[in-house]
Chain A
Amino acid sequence: MVLSYKWLSEFVNIDVSPEEFADSMTMSGSKVEAVHELGGEIQNVVVGKIESVAKHPNADKLSVCMIDVGNNTVQVVTGATNVKAGDSVPVALDGSTLPGGVKINAGKLRGIDSFGMLCSINELGLTKNNLPDADEDGILILDGEAKPGTDIRTILGLDDIAFEFEITSNRPDCMSVIGLAREAAATFGKEFKAHTPEVRESDEPAENHLSVSVEDPDLCPRYTARMVCDVKIEPSPKWMRERLHASGIRPINNIVDITNYVMLEYGQPMHAFDYRLLGAGRIVVRRAKDGEKITTIDEREHTLNKDMLVIADESLPVAVAGVMGGSNSEIGEDTNTVVFESACFKAASVRNTSRALGLRTDSSARFEKGLDAENALPALERACELVESLGAGRVLKGVIDVKSYTYSERVIPFDPKRINALLGTDIDSEKMKEILKPLGFSFGDGIIGIPSFRADIECTADIAEEVARLYGYNNIESTPLRGENTQGGYDKNRLFEKSIGATSRALGFSECFTYSFINPAFYDRLMLPEGSNLRKYISIRNPLGDETSAMRTTLIPSMLEVISKNISSRNMTARFYELGRVYLPKLSPDGEADLNRLPDENAMYILGSYGKGNDFYTLKGALETLFKTLLIADVEFEPASHLPYHPGRCAKISSGDLTLGVIGEIHPKVLSCFDIDIPVYLADLSVEALMNAVQPELEYKPLPKFPAITRDIALVCDINLPVSRLEKCIRSCSTGILEDIVLFDVYTGGQVEKDKKSVAFSLTLRSPDHTLRDDEADAFINKALLALKDSYGALLRE
């Protein structure tokens, strides 16, 4: 909502600077987003009276004018042909500025000094809509009364200030000059000067010519109309055009301007129909028929449906109620009888219609927030009062007012004690009344009467807000929270995720945040098998685009995208992690995603690495360190083979019965789908599984009292045998003396047979209760070797 400072001053005397006004209004709840000085870009442009016009000695198309600009006379060379001695014109003096940042300086034109420029309306940032009498191509000729030297902005009404307000959706009443004036009066403690419109009207009754029936009162609680005859369409007067311009509305003609003027002043959208074009003088307010068509005044054709409300004559729609008029009943140059409509339409209906038709107007923007039906009639009266004062036509007798409700003032208890209790204040009840009265509230015995335009006020908390905002939020004393002490703290998940994050970073992984929705094509790019549960995802019904339409069931594609982008930004080596949710839909009995139930939102932890210093084993090593810090023991990596991983470089990670996740190198085909041409290693783990795998509280073990024996053994086994099997086999032979087992070498090549490899372990053996003897160690080694041979054909390397 744009408010003209001059217009405001008709309703309330504000005597502070525009900045202070904006600031105080913001702090009392009407937020000023911007303050525009209307003619702010025009500097040093004044009224000049032309004393003489002479031909330029060196140029046929130029003339030299001597101009009285108040305190002196200046010479200006102009190319204009519409000026003569005695005319008053706008003169941009030496060093002046014009809209668009244009600067005017003195100079020579074909050898003759020129100390400024004469201006056209365009050069002043105006159009013929603002000044209908002006010559579009020539210099603006002002009426003769303007005193030379006067700032042109005062002459053109550009000495105004436009305040841009952000009006919250609960205050449609403030989308008007009157509404904001009331707020301003309350804010500054000034008197609000109400105006009651008066219509003289002629003797001829309107009802002889016009009838209104409202067929769907549920969508139109009130419809008022008046008729105006002998209309003469012409430009509206200068003051009205200036007000509209300052408020950001383009002046059109007197009748249309009146509807816009009243909408801005009262916040009540109005419409004017050409009576000739209303068949049979009938107005019918009804739901549209399915498929019914209307062409609106912006020349767009719309197909309507039965959920939309229209204003129709006896047969055809002539307006989409509260949204836009139809071109078939539009005011034209030759209109001589006008019907003014001032109605109240149901907010939701206007909102849905406006949305469905893709038509948002100043009118729909007001209606969809819910307007005061009691305001319809005063607005109509104001429009007709303006018709009379402008001499725009003859207002017929009588108002047609169809309404389906009876108004009575709403009241709620007035409870100053509760208000103070909510605010933490000690404001006197009389002071509260003083604050509330200027806003339109009235008081009875323990009750407060709510004005019709404040549909948002329903309970004591609402009254508390009214009191607080005018008392000043910043005058309420800030208090540290009192009351019962509470035990704060993080939930277990967040603490766990914090330690995962800290360890990841210590291991060189940087944290990522990626979108929760992905391109559904990613599920194909991951080459997931048909029927994979990961392909069952939740799709967004109204996504921004396909590429953000599927809720992710895995973090893998997001991580691959991050890696792909980083490689293309020439970050040639990197380690990343993300802790994020995946959304796994509940499945219906037929195995499909059930969108009507909330999905499982599982927290996942993903690591990704590529480039120098990164391979499968560095990533695995990082994970093993992580497991140590998280107190997850007995983790096993079992060879696995599933997409999107490399079939020979992928392992399932588990701890006991719990599957923790998968680690592997990404399949080159998948990588190429993400435009990646170097190996990428990922580990994808479930946070919940990791949490469940955490060992119970640690218990201290005494330090060993007896020395250990170390034995190294090198084994030769099948080249494809996972070494973890050998290790497990050795461990299974332990009689309690195997303290540690470390793999220290895997060798294939010349020294061993083809299809074989050599695997070397270092074993630490120790007894808790005596110094281990060599023969005991030997016995264990022999037992282990026997088992290795039996189970895997692994032999001690000679």
Chain B
Amino acid sequence: MKEQLAQIRAAAEQAIVKADSVPELDTLRVRFFGKKGELTSVLKQMGGLSAEMRPVIGQLANETREYIESQIEIARARLEEIALTSRLAAEKIDVTIPGTPQPLGHKHPMSIVLDEALSIFVGMGYKVVEGPEVEYDYYNFEALNIPRDHPARDTQDTFYITDNVLLRTQTSSVQIRHMEKNKPPIKIVSPGRVFRSDEIDATHSPLFHQIEGLVVDKGVTMGDLKGTLEVFAKRLYGEQARARFRPHHFQFTEPSAEMDIMCFNCQGKGCRLCKNEGWIEVLGAGLVHPKVLEICGIDPDVYSGFAFGIGLERITMRRYGIKDIRLFYENDLRFLKQFQGVM
């Protein structure tokens, strides 16, 4: 029987090596271990052995079985690996074929820049508030120290509904509305639409957007205004952005300033982009005029504050190199598709 087992073992080895598919291995398993399998038949003869021989042969038979089984498993693993490799080879695709398009909408460039600007101020502790676009003369002019007959309120510039109702020309109206209802400390930004009766051309639109800012507290200074807006400029335009402040005049701030950013194109040397000035004006600002504080019931001897107004179209045009403001309101998909904002 020893010989028989040795033969079976040799036959199995040979057959396993020859097998070249997993089903063939299964057939071999039956051939050796099935009910009528070769090894099974040998085991069936065990009953005729002597008591001494039985354990010897028994052990030998078990060893033979384990050996064959392990060989089958090794062969199976090898064959499966081969099969997988060839399947994968057959499944190869051209990964350079474009992906299946999924719908994707685009964020308007002004929204992208607006959201960025707001998040900068929110991060500095500002609240975002809004106000009406159709506004009383009082909030748009009177309370901002722009009395009747002041040149700044030419009918040329303002859209009127009635003598007392108009389309706001500046988001500064929100300053008044907010101060009327809130006590210092005040720290707000207020984005929104404003209207001026400018004929439409590449740099003028009868409707545009501003971001108003207002801070009122004890001891607020011009230095604070500068510090705040410099941080804003760096966050919006990058650490290399350089800002300068120029005296200017607004009826509702005193002192008043305009902030310029050094032209990115020429680094201040002067080029076509900055009209040879080397600097590009981005916003108007100043300390809140004491008369304005007083009108809103805030004591200008105790409190001071600063305010600023940023032109959204202007900073967006700067940001993307857009030369014509009309593109913002035409909403041509070929234009919109060029922009993407995540949030």
Contacts and interface: CB of A to CB of B under 8 A. Distances in A.
B132 interface: yes
Interface stretch (B25-33, B89-97, B117-125): B117-125
A194 interface: no
A583 to B, nearest CB: 6
Interface residues of B, number: 88
Contact of B221 (A29, A479, A577): A479
Interface stretch (A61-69, A563-571, A765-773, A776-784): A563-571
B263 to A, nearest CB: 14
Nearest to B332: A569
Contacts of A601: 132-134
B219 interface: yes
Interface stretch (B9-17, B48-56, B62-70, B106-114): B106-114
Contacts, number: 256
B105 A421 contact: no
Contacts of B161: 538-541, 595
Interface string B232-270: 000000000000111111000011110000000000000
A502 B104 CA distance: 10
B290 A598 contact: no
Interface string A342-358: 00000110011001000
A536 interface: no
Given A170-B249, A541-B160, A571-B334, A478 B185 contact: no
A583 B134 contact: yes
B105 A348 contact: no
A465 B247 contact: yes
Interface residues of A, number: 92
Contact of B122 (A490, A569, A597): A490
Nearest to B270: A19
Contacts of B167: 516, 540
A462 interface: yes
A658 interface: no
A551 interface: yes
B57 interface: no
Interface stretch (A203-211, A223-231, A294-302, A468-476): A468-476
A580 to B, nearest CB: 9
Given A369-B151, A509-B105, A516-B207, A489 B128 contact: yes
B129 interface: yes
Interface string B143-179: 0000011111011100111101101000000000000
Interface in B215-230: 215, 217-224, 226-228, 230
Contacts of A277: none
Interface string A578-617: 0001010000000000011111010000000000000000
Nearest to B124: A488
Given A462-B254, A569-B332, 13 more contacts: A168-B249, A169-B150, A352-B149, A421-B221, A423-B221, A473-B245, A486-B127, A491-B129, A498-B115, A510-B333, A512-B336, A542-B155, A543-B159
Interface of B: 103-108, 110-111, 115, 118, 121-130, 132-136, 148-152, 154-156, 159-162, 164-165, 167, 185, 187, 193, 195, 197, 199-200, 206-207, 215, 217-224, 226-228, 230-231, 244-249, 254-257, 287, 289-291, 304, 328-334, 336-337, 343
11 contacts: A473-B246, A473-B247, A473-B257, A474-B245, A483-B218, A488-B127, A510-B333, A516-B207, A541-B162, A544-B206, A571-B332
Interface of A: 26-29, 31, 168-171, 347-348, 351-352, 355, 368-369, 421-425, 459-462, 464-465, 468-469, 473-474, 476-491, 493-494, 498, 501-502, 504-517, 538-544, 548, 551, 562, 565-566, 569, 571, 574-577, 581, 583, 595-599, 601
